[in-house]
């Protein structure tokens, strides 16, 4: 609730922050803006408005523009804002009026609601869609304390705000009629002040009274009403095309529209692109390759897309250094990565890209980069120890759908090396990704050098992964046909493998009978190991009966093999 001063109330003492604010103003400090916004003395602010606006210093003008860039929601600042607005309007100050145009446009925001309407003819209550303005959008009157306004609250009543934004646009409309040489520079400066947050959607576009006049004044899809823009009968925002006020001025030269390609608002950038494509395509054709490459690095998706489209039509792309292409990929937005990667695929040959760069791309998370890296690897082969280590790194590639293909390529090129080591497949069999272990297992099965290595078998028997353990049991079945092959394996690691498979609750149902037979076969050949082997079988039986405390379970529930010399 607001409290108003009575006629006979004693005057409030001046705000002690005034002296501090004046010191900051005289020094041109940026801190002045926040300090003055915290002062809620309407009369003093009204007097200070002329001092501020007429100050000839560049610092004073910079502070004023910084103030107008912030939301107009500082309590009791209505006199300050109105007086500066009138001073700028009377002085023909295009730069300050541009800031007022954007600032007043931001003060009106509507929303769509569903409300009920009673039809007296039918006696029914029907739901209908409506566009309304929130009723609590006015900053409350100052009551002696500074209350932080909500983001949707602004100075002035809604009616006054509607009037002020119409009046701000009227300034530019008169400028276009009376001083056409000033109109385009003035509105271009205003258009660069809008941001994506000012046009969140189609309704947000229509809420920007001045912006919509500048860009779409003559569009048949929309119509202007005293309370704001709305979609015309039979119209649609999907059909909205660039049709600006004073279109003949825009058609004289493409440069003003071209300059808006790097505006802060995506709506303004898209308007400029569509306007140039329709009215000045030759200007886009004259853009240099270097400029297009710079556009690809900017955080503007509309401009990125335009740059990629224009680059595809240019010649001489093979002259661009590989380092520049790779730099573009590093800074490209996700929306343009796919198109840029496809373009590089057509331009670059695998032989032009170094082994390390190709591996780095293949390891990337975005699918377009990983696909490009895999293509660039092509027929490359590692030639140094560092490159061999980089190939092993593909087991941790982040592009999940492409990772199996990368690992298969890695297994192939590593298997071809003259310095091949049988333990290399273990780098993939111990990987954290199951698809990598699958590829590593396929490599083990097709390479006898690794498959017949005792060191490889010893390491595999310690594998913590179920899919490897179960397959090892099957391989043991095959090796059991070879005399003495099974007994050549370390007994403690074999017991660890058998125990891990038998005690697995969720997997290995078809494999467990093989394990029991292998244990019995081992007992037949090595009866002195009964003290270690029988508890494993007993533990399996206990698990089947729901008893997790049998001797075998206690002996083999750890993560490493434990030898227990208990009697059978």
pLDDT digits (tens, 9 = 90+) for 388-440: 999 999 999 988 899 999 999 999 999 999 998 888 988 888 888 889 988 88
Reported as a pLDDT band with limits 50, 70 and 90, residue 36 is very high
Query: 339 with 308: CB under 8 angstroms?
Result: yes
User: Quick one: pLDDT at residue 23?
Assistant: 93
What is the average per-residue pLDDT within 310-332? 78
pTM: predicted TM-score of the whole model, two decimal places:
0.70
Reported as a pLDDT band with limits 50, 70 and 90, residue 14 is low
Instruction: Please report the sign of the dihedral spanned by the C-alpha atoms of residue 505, residue 506, residue 508, residue 509.
Output: positive
3-class DSSP assignment, residue 228: strand
User: Quick one: pLDDT at residue 333?
Assistant: 74
Give the integer Cα–Cα distance in Å for 207 and 227: 10
Q: Which residue reads 């125990």 in tokens?
A: 499
Q: Given its phi and psi angles, is residue 508 left (phi above 0), alpha (psi -120 to 50 degrees) or beta?
A: left
Mean pLDDT (the chain) is 81
Query: 423 with 411: CB under 8 angstroms?
Result: no
Whether residue 147 is predicted with pLDDT greater than 70 in this model: the reply is no
CA 127 to chain centre: 38
Burial of 550 (0-12, 13-18, 19+ CB in 10 A): middle
Q: Which residue reads 């009723």 in tokens?
A: 135
- Chain segment 270-284, per-residue pLDDT in tens: 999 999 999 999 999
Whether residue 64 is predicted with pLDDT greater than 90 in this model: the reply is yes
Closest CA to 108 of 212, 208, 224, 223: 208
- Chain segment 291-312, per-residue pLDDT in tens: 988 898 888 989 988 988 898 8
Give the integer Cα–Cα distance in Å for 192 and 215: 13
Give the integer Cα–Cα distance in Å for 1 and 140: 8
Long-range CB pairs of 369-376, under 8 A, 24+ apart, other chains included: 369/329, 369/337, 369/341, 369/399, 370/397, 370/398, 370/399, 370/402, 370/406, 371/341, 371/399, 371/402, 372/329, 372/341, 372/344, 372/345, 374/402, 374/405, 374/406, 374/409, 375/345, 375/350, 376/348, 376/350
Query: 222 with 229: CB under 8 angstroms?
Result: yes
Considering only the C-alpha atoms of the chain, give the largest distance between any 2 of them, rounded to a whole number of Å: 115
Query: 190 with 210: CB under 8 angstroms?
Result: yes
Instruction: Please report the sign of the dihedral spanned by the C-alpha atoms of residue 543, residue 549, residue 553, residue 558.
Output: positive
Whether residue 241 is predicted with pLDDT greater than 60 in this model: the reply is yes
Question: How is residue 246 written in tokens?
Answer: 């004073």
Q: Are strands 124-133 and 228-231 parallel, antiparallel or unpaired?
A: unpaired
Give the integer Cα–Cα distance in Å for 276 and 279: 5
Query: 207 with 110: CB under 8 angstroms?
Result: yes
List all residues 6 or more positions away from 238 whose beta carbon is below 8 Å from its beta carbon.
Answer: none
Reported as a pLDDT band with limits 50, 70 and 90, residue 316 is confident
**Count of other CB atoms within 10 angstroms of residue 176:** 18
Element (H, E) at 390: helix 385-392
Q: Which residue reads 């093989």 in tokens?
A: 514
Closest CA to 261 of 198, 320, 229, 305: 305
User: Quick one: pLDDT at residue 505?
Assistant: 43
With a pLDDT cut of 90, the percent of the chain lying above it is: 39
Give the integer Cα–Cα distance in Å for 230 and 152: 21
Reported as a pLDDT band with limits 50, 70 and 90, residue 523 is low
User: Quick one: pLDDT at residue 560?
Assistant: 39
Roughly how many angstroms between the first and final C-alpha of the chain, as a whole number? 87
Give the integer Cα–Cα distance in Å for 268 and 193: 10
Reported as a pLDDT band with limits 50, 70 and 90, residue 562 is very low
Give the integer Cα–Cα distance in Å for 298 and 432: 37
User: Quick one: pLDDT at residue 63?
Assistant: 96
User: Of 479 and 149, which is predicted with more confidence?
Assistant: 149
Q: Phi/psi at 128 (nearest 5 deg)?
A: -140, 150
Q: Which residue reads 């492409």 in tokens?
A: 402
User: Quick one: pLDDT at residue 170?
Assistant: 97
Whether residue 71 is predicted with pLDDT greater than 50 in this model: the reply is yes
Give the integer Cα–Cα distance in Å for 445 and 151: 65
What is the average per-residue pLDDT within 164-192? 96
Write the DSSP assignment of 29-78 as a string of letters: -THHHHHHHT---HHHHHHHHHHHHH---HHHHHHHHHHHHS-S--TT-H
Whether residue 557 is predicted with pLDDT greater than 50 in this model: the reply is no
List Cα–Cα distances, 493 to 139, 206, 336, 426, 528, in angstroms: 77, 74, 52, 16, 17
Give the integer Cα–Cα distance in Å for 145 and 134: 24
- Chain segment 208-222, per-residue pLDDT in tens: 999 999 999 999 999
Q: Given its phi and psi angles, is residue 522 left (phi above 0), alpha (psi -120 to 50 degrees) or beta?
A: alpha
Whether residue 547 is predicted with pLDDT greater than 50 in this model: the reply is no
What is the average per-residue pLDDT within 334-355? 80
């Amino acid at each position: 609730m607001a409290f108003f001063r009575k006629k006979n109330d004693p005057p409030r003492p001046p705000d002690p922050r005034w002296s501090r604010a004046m010191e900051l103003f005289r020094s041109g400090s940026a801190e002045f803006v926040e300090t003055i916004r915290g002062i809620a003395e309407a009369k003093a602010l009204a007097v200070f408005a002329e001092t501020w606006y007429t100050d000839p210093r560049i610092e004073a003008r910079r502070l004023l523009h910084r103030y107008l860039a912030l939301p107009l929601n500082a309590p009791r600042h209505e006199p300050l804002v109105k007086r500066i607005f009138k001073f700028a309007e009377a002085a023909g100050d295009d730069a300050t009026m541009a800031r007022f145009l954007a600032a007043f446009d931001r003060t009106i925001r509507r929303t769509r609601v569903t409300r009920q309407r009673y039809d007296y003819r039918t006696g029914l209550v029907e739901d209908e869609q409506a566009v309304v303005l929130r009723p609590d959008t006015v900053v409350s009157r100052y009551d002696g304390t500074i209350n932080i306004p909500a983001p949707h609250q602004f100075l002035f009543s809604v009616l006054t705000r509607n009037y002020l934004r119409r009046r701000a646009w009227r300034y530019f409309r008169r400028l276009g009629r009376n001083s056409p040489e000033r109109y385009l520079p003035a509105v271009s400066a205003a258009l660069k002040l809008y941001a994506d947050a000012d046009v969140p959607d189609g309704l947000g576009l229509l809420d920007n009274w001045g912006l919509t006049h500048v860009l779409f004044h003559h569009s048949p899809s929309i119509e202007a009403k005293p309370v704001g823009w709305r979609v015309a009968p039979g119209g649609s925002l999907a059909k909205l095309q660039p049709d600006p006020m004073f279109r003949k001025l825009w058609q004289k030269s493409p440069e003003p529209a071209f300059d808006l390609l790097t505006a802060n608002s995506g709506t303004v950038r898209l308007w400029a692109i569509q306007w140039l494509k329709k009215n000045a395509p030759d200007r886009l054709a004259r853009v240099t390759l270097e400029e297009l490459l710079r556009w690809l690095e900017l955080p503007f998706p509309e401009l990125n897309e335009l740059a990629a489209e224009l680059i595809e039509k240019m010649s001489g792309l093979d002259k661009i250094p590989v380092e520049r292409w790779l730099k573009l990929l590093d800074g490209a937005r996700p929306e343009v990565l796919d198109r840029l990667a496809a373009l590089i695929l057509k331009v670059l040959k695998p032989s032009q890209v170094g082994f390390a760069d190709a591996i780095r791309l293949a390891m990337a998370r975005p699918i377009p980069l990983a696909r490009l890296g895999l293509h660039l690897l092509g027929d490359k082969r590692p030639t140094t120890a560092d490159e061999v280590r980089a190939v092993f790194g593909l087991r941790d590639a982040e592009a999940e759908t492409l990772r199996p293909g990368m690992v298969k390529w890695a297994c192939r090129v590593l298997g071809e090396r003259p310095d091949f080591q049988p333990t290399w497949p273990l780098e993939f069999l111990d990987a954290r990704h199951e698809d990598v272990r699958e590829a590593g297992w396929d490599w083990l099965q097709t390479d006898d050098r690794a498959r017949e290595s005792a060191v490889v078998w010893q390491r595999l028997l310690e594998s913590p992964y179920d899919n490897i353990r179960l397959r090892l049991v099957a391989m043991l079945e095959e090796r059991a046909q070879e005399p003495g092959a099974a007994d050549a394996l370390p007994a403690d690691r074999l017991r660890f493998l058998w125990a891990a498979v038998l005690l697995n609750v969720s997997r290995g149902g078809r494999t467990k009978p093989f394990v029991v037979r292998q244990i019995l076969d081992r007992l037949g050949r090595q009866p002195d190991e009964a003290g270690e082997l029988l508890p494993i079988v007993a533990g399996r039986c206990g698990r089947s009966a729901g008893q997790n405390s049998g001797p075998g379970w206690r002996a083999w529930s750890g993560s490493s093999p434990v030898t227990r010399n208990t009697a059978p």
